[in-house]
Structure 1
Amino acid sequence: MKFTTAASLLAVSPLADATKPLVSSEKLQKLITEDGLMENLEKLNEIAYANGGNRAFGLPGYAASVDFIYEEISKLEGFKTWKQDFPANFTQTLAAEVTVDDETFRTVALTYTPSTSEEGVTAELVHAPEGTAACDVANYEGIDVKDKIVLVERGLCPDQTTFAGKVKPAAKAGAAVVVIYNSDEAKLTAGTLSAQSPDYVPTALIDQEPGKALKARLDAGEKIEAFAKVIQTIETRITQNVFAETKGGDEKNVVMLGAHLDSVQAGPGINDDGSGTSLILENAKALQHFSHKLKVRFGWWGAEENGLVGSRYYVNNLKKNEVDNLLAYLNFDMVSRGFFGVFDGTGEKKGPGGPPGSDVIEDLFREHFKAKDIEVTPAGLTGGTDYVAFLEVLKKPVGGLFTGTGLEQDACYHQACDNITNPVPDTIYKNAQAAAHVLSKLAIDGVELLPKIPSNSTVGSIKRVRDDASLHFHDVLSGVEGKPCDHDIV
């Protein structure tokens, strides 16, 4: 019995891996290979196509992705692994149609929209107030929208929403249905209201071109009858986060890396976010060969595309001592094509910034890329991906990498073509090396480099960063098209 106890203590001691060489940036980077990164993506691609073309939460492709990651991390030496069950609202669109004059437009039903009747709604089409005026119900005075279909352009409202901020005023004014047309040429395949609400009416999204054409006809005084139908099923399903944590390292100081494991229902999600999934997996595989002063934890999040549900659940269920022990969080969501984006920890380049210490993480990434003669694009910590709960609730230092979602960066964003042909192998390789550099630095010198931020009264209540998950957080960060974020928090 005494031997078992001693062995157990050794297993969690910082000296448990003392026989291994101490990790360094150069050594860790050498074990990161382009082939290894791409092999993971090929496996995720195979999983998607074997399961209806996606790896979305609540569907077989995600369950298979969980199995794949768990099988891989279970092979790691010196790690403990586990899964975390949590509930999330699963949505699936059964019908989405907007038709005018026998022309049916490409239509997307926003996630968490109420449904119309099975027969749909046929009614007069009316344009909402223009611009931010559509964000305030007071501006509907003098516009008869009762029981009608309201056409409104997507755009950022003062409350920092791009969908919900346009839907709620129209609904309050009496609209039967809201049809939002996109504010740029991107052909969106998904958008979300983040959560169900009695303040919404059935809402559909159409492309910019038909939206502008309809507006022009209405502006010319034409009376238009439109048909809209939106049917969506919403139910609670149990899904999982996956974790791997080093047995060695100081348990009072934990560095965490994360990436979301799910895709949207529209495609395989190989860049978004198979790339981040692969990046942290390869870093975990490399780290097993070294000793390090701090404990390192890797997390693969579920239901990110449904509103950061997995990471939010994880943060809200941490114990006080677990919060106190967490030193920093690094996030990797879309890292295989586009620019080399580093989250702006100071907020001086692409604000807002992060909690104290976020600037240090940014500097570590920037120094690495500078040494490699790679130009860095600043990415704002504007919300919409899995660092949000760590930043907003725990006030922990955050950082990470991101390669953009503008058409120039990823024309297949949230689409069926985000498959194995989408990633740029050299891009994910260079980002994985950058992650290895920062990981090695923090795993050795993290206590000296970063402030220790203890648990406080903010734990357990996530404040809204955005409340309409329109495109994806990446659209704000790209700095190319200035789009508002997607996975917004309510």
Structure 2
Amino acid sequence: MKLTTAAALLALSPLTEATKPPKLNDIAYANGGNRAFGLPGYAASVDFIYHEISKLKGFKTWKQDFPANFTQTLTAEVTVDDETFRTVALTYTPSTSEDGVTAELVHGPEGEAACDAANYEGLDVEGKVVLVERGLCPDGTTFAGKVKPAAAAGAQVVVIYNSDEAKLTAGTLSAPNPKEYVPTGLIDQDPGQALKARLDAGEKLEVFVKIIQTIETRVTQNVFAETKGGDGENVVMLGAHLDSVQAGPGINDDGSGTSLILETAKGLQHFSTKLKIRFGWWGAEENGLVGSRYYVNNLKTTDVDDLLAYLNFDMVSRGFFGVFDGTGEKVGPGGPPGSEVIEDLFREFFEKEKIEVTPVGLTGGTDYVPFREVIKKPVGGLFTGTGLEQDACYHQACDNITNPVPETLHINAKAAAHVLSKLAIDGVKLIPKTPSNTTVGSIKRIRIQDSADRVGCYRYCAMRALIMSLTQNIDTTLFDRDRASEVANTGRSGSVAVSSSALSRHPA
């Protein structure tokens, strides 16, 4: 039976205090301050999401086990002239010896030139420590692309300094590669620029570097929910990563996207859709998109053919209103054909709301990558930025419940509801496919107007209205409303003591 919008809303009963599970922020603070893959906080996050989606009507739910390389840094130190700098060991970096490395510090090529081994010709870096600035390389990486050329040129260690003022607490080389990588540490922008200035002035510097990191394989999970109804040969998928970095709770990154797609699924359960809709919560994203890569690489050919498009929501609660540039015409690179249609649908919503959009290039670093690069599917989504101005708590302990901007999260949730509602009804018309289920090379941009005289608009408008109404409470997935003021009083960088009553809400 299909419910009207009003009846559906009345049918929704809030969780009672006795049955309410802990939210993502509570989970993090109950498990060492994070929800990182391979640690108890991530396992509890999987349990929470699976508990929530298992209650949805009309959905099939499942988990997917996959192996991933777990890393934990034991020591990370870069010292020059008895001054030790704050140092982050990149995920999957090789370790130095227990005694560390003492060697001459030299500066590598500047900017993108450091991404090409040919630019090391004429530079004497053999057995030395190479200092380079973080930056995007043509291969889509900001770390690995700088390490490989230096290592190939004979560097014993690489020290990367950040390209902006953000105090990064994590960075990844995507996968272990001892043949092409050397021990690598990340330091902040200020000391990095100061060291470069001294080297440019002709000063000879000796540096001590010690990096010890354990790497082992652990099994973890992706989590999925999929509508039982809808055209199984045309699937629209929404995804967000469920894990945080080890440094903090990960409430903007990416508890915001996690909660956005969860609340969207809750709204969708009250309607039938023309297309099948699938939601995915990815594991080990912070370790190199491991969960989404595993999922895509293990899809059957028929499942690949059936997938129409993928929408990604990674960091959507503070910063600018970013929409991925599907065409690549604004900031590039773009996505496979059909990606521009998704971009247009998001822009349609923001233009109607008179909200300025920031175009975001599909440069990598989040879970749309395997969908775009491996199976060439149309991709799109939202992103609010990682820069200091957008999120000063990016990858830090202060990315807790005080970090998100509720209004930003709610607006992005409405934008997601707008796009999903249109794709769920008219996705095949908007993104046509060839008989082999590859997207047509040239797709005319189509904009559907919100008019009552359009066929199917009543169902589309009703569905969107319900999803939007539910996403008004999206922040409750991140934390309990009745505890928000209590935790906010601790300050953004303060620690939060989780009460025993909050812990007791976790279902057995």
Q: TM-score range by the shorter chain?
A: 0.7 to 0.9
Indicate whether 1:174 and 2:154 are aligned: yes
Residue 407 (structure 2) aligns with: 426
CA distance in 2, matches of 1:403, 1:126: 36
1:93 Cα offset (Å): 0.9
Indicate whether 1:110 and 2:101 are aligned: no
Residue 307 (structure 1) aligns with: 288
CA distance in 1, matches of 2:123, 2:199: 13
1:266 Cα offset (Å): 1.2
1:42 Cα offset (Å): 7.5
1:185 Cα offset (Å): 2.1
SS in structure 1 opposite 2:72? Answer: strand
* TM-score of the superposed pair, with normalisation by structure 1: 0.83
Indicate whether 1:61 and 2:41 are aligned: yes
CA distance in 1, matches of 2:99, 2:298: 43
User: Which residues of 2 match residues 44-443 of structure 1 at below 5 A?
Assistant: 44-197=24-177, 198-443=179-424
Q: Tell me which amino acid in the other structure corresponds to 1:406.
A: G
CA distance in 1, matches of 2:261, 2:420: 10
Q: Is the Cα–Cα contact under 8 Å of residues 28 and 436 in structure 1 kept in the other structure?
A: no
Q: Is the Cα–Cα contact under 8 Å of residues 356 and 451 in structure 1 kept in the other structure?
A: no
SS in structure 1 opposite 2:372? Answer: helix
Aligned-pair RMSD on alpha carbons? 2.8
Q: Quickly say closer, same or farther: Cα 1:275–1:124, change in 2 above 3 A.
A: same
List per-residue Cα deviations over 1:263-311 (Å, max 9, x = no partner). Answer: 1111111001100000000011111111222111111011111111111
List per-residue Cα deviations over 1:220-239 (Å, max 9, x = no partner). Answer: 33332221100011111111
List per-residue Cα deviations over 1:317-348 (Å, max 9, x = no partner). Answer: 11122122212111111111111111222222
1:207 Cα offset (Å): 1.3
Aligned residues: 436
Q: Tell me which amino acid in the other structure corresponds to 1:186.
A: A
Alignment identity in percent? 83
Q: Is the Cα–Cα contact under 8 Å of residues 127 and 215 in structure 1 kept in the other structure?
A: yes
SS in structure 2 opposite 1:201? Answer: coil
Q: Is the Cα–Cα contact under 8 Å of residues 279 and 432 in structure 1 kept in the other structure?
A: yes
SS in structure 2 opposite 1:124? Answer: strand
Q: Is the Cα–Cα contact under 8 Å of residues 258 and 298 in structure 1 kept in the other structure?
A: yes
Q: Quickly say closer, same or farther: Cα 1:129–1:429, change in 2 above 3 A.
A: closer
* TM-score of the superposed pair, with normalisation by structure 2: 0.80
Q: Is the Cα–Cα contact under 8 Å of residues 41 and 270 in structure 1 kept in the other structure?
A: no
CA distance in 2, matches of 1:30, 1:253: 31
Q: Is the Cα–Cα contact under 8 Å of residues 296 and 443 in structure 1 kept in the other structure?
A: yes
SS in structure 1 opposite 2:370? Answer: helix
SS in structure 1 opposite 2:66? Answer: strand
Q: Quickly say closer, same or farther: Cα 1:21–1:250, change in 2 above 3 A.
A: farther
Q: Tell me which amino acid in the other structure corresponds to 2:185.
A: A
User: Which residues of 2 match residues 2-13 of structure 1 at below 5 A?
Assistant: none
CA distance in 2, matches of 1:438, 1:294: 13
SS in structure 2 opposite 1:80? Answer: strand
List per-residue Cα deviations over 1:38-81 (Å, max 9, x = no partner). Answer: xx998100111111111111111100000000000011111111
CA distance in 1, matches of 2:187, 2:406: 33
Indicate whether 1:451 and 2:432 are aligned: yes
Q: Quickly say closer, same or farther: Cα 1:455–1:218, change in 2 above 3 A.
A: same
CA distance in 2, matches of 1:204, 1:425: 35
Q: Tell me which amino acid in the other structure corresponds to 1:56.
A: A
Q: Which moved more, 1:347-356 or 1:202-211?
A: 347-356
Q: Is the Cα–Cα contact under 8 Å of residues 305 and 438 in structure 2 kept in the other structure?
A: no
CA distance in 1, matches of 2:254, 2:404: 11
List per-residue Cα deviations over 1:194-235 (Å, max 9, x = no partner). Answer: 122211111111112112222222333333222110001111
Q: Tell me which amino acid in the other structure corresponds to 1:20.
A: K
Q: Tell me which amino acid in the other structure corresponds to 2:156.
A: A
Q: Quickly say closer, same or farther: Cα 1:84–1:223, change in 2 above 3 A.
A: same
Q: Quickly say closer, same or farther: Cα 1:273–1:146, change in 2 above 3 A.
A: same
Q: Is the Cα–Cα contact under 8 Å of residues 331 and 401 in structure 1 kept in the other structure?
A: yes
Residue 457 (structure 2) aligns with: none
Q: Which moved more, 1:367-376 or 1:47-56?
A: 367-376
CA distance in 2, matches of 1:404, 1:287: 28
CA distance in 2, matches of 1:395, 1:377: 24
1:356 Cα offset (Å): 2.3
SS in structure 2 opposite 1:346? Answer: coil
Q: Quickly say closer, same or farther: Cα 1:409–1:282, change in 2 above 3 A.
A: same
CA distance in 1, matches of 2:435, 2:299: 13
Q: Tell me which amino acid in the other structure corresponds to 1:312.
A: R
Q: Which runs of 5+ in 2 are unaligned?
A: 440-508
CA distance in 2, matches of 1:28, 1:403: 31
Q: Is the Cα–Cα contact under 8 Å of residues 38 and 218 in structure 2 kept in the other structure?
A: yes
Q: Quickly say closer, same or farther: Cα 1:299–1:221, change in 2 above 3 A.
A: same
Q: Quickly say closer, same or farther: Cα 1:364–1:156, change in 2 above 3 A.
A: closer
CA distance in 2, matches of 1:266, 1:453: 46
CA distance in 2, matches of 1:160, 1:355: 16
CA distance in 2, matches of 1:29, 1:378: 35
Q: Tell me which amino acid in the other structure corresponds to 1:110.
A: L
Residue 482 (structure 2) aligns with: none
Q: Which runs of 5+ in 1 are unaligned?
A: 1-18, 459-490
Q: Quickly say closer, same or farther: Cα 1:232–1:451, change in 2 above 3 A.
A: same
Residue 483 (structure 1) aligns with: none
1:142 Cα offset (Å): 4.7
SS in structure 2 opposite 1:298? Answer: strand
